[in-house]
């Protein structure tokens, strides 16, 4: 389905809402991750009792994983354009493999907290950074193409 101007691949209204944080977008997920990181220990104790108390490192790992997932989900919207999908798939593959490798290493060294931190680190470095770079480069090329078309 096309965007507002009817062109397939352009950001549509629903995608813009997700990017801006309207509804159940990135802002809500970031806020929830922050609340769980700060108040998660109290919440878990209230929910299951004092016998189980997650460490701040474990809660931080889950927050890091949630944040990278929320931002990565919003970043995936513009990366799904026809000219960018190959790069999107490549960085998804690399980020997944790095996160899996980090998960094995960090879980061995740090216990269960390593699983969350590995996803947060792997996707932040190997998905978010290249994703922003690809989108920035694409937008620069689009701007040059539009500028050249206006001067004709």
Read off the pLDDT of residues 96-107 as tens digits, 9 standing for 90 and up.
999 999 999 999
Cα 106 to Cα 100: distance, rounded to the nearest angstrom: 10
Judge contact between 83 and 59, C-beta under 8 A: no
Task: Please report, in tens digits, the pLDDT of each residue of the chain (152 residues total).
Answer: 444 443 444 444 444 444 444 445 667 777 777 777 788 888 878 888 777 778 888 888 888 888 888 888 888 888 888 888 888 899 999 999 999 999 999 999 888 889 889 988 998 899 988 888 888 888 888 777 666 666 66
End-to-end CA distance of the chain: 30
Q: What is the dihedral of CA 120, 125, 128, 133, to 10 degrees?
A: 170
Give the global pTM: 0.64
Alpha-carbon Rg of the chain, whole angstroms?
Answer: 19
Cα 97 to Cα 115: distance, rounded to the nearest angstrom: 13
pLDDT of 67 reads 84
């Amino acid at each position: 389905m096309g965007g507002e101007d009817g062109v397939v691949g352009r950001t549509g209204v629903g995608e813009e809402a997700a990017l801006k944080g309207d509804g159940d977008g990135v802002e809500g997920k970031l806020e929830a991750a922050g609340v769980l990181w700060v108040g998660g220990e109290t919440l878990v104790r209230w929910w299951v009792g004092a016998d189980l108390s997650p460490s701040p490192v474990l809660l931080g790992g889950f927050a890091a994983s949630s944040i990278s997932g929320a931002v990565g989900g919003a970043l995936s919207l513009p990366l799904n354009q026809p000219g960018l999908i190959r790069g999107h798939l490549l960085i998804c593959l690399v980020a997944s493999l790095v996160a899996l490798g980090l998960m094995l290493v960090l879980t061995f060294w740090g216990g269960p907290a390593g699983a969350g931190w590995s996803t947060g680190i792997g996707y932040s470095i190997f998905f978010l950074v290249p994703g922003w770079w690809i989108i920035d480069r694409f937008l620069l090329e689009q701007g040059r193409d539009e500028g050249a078309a206006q001067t004709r």
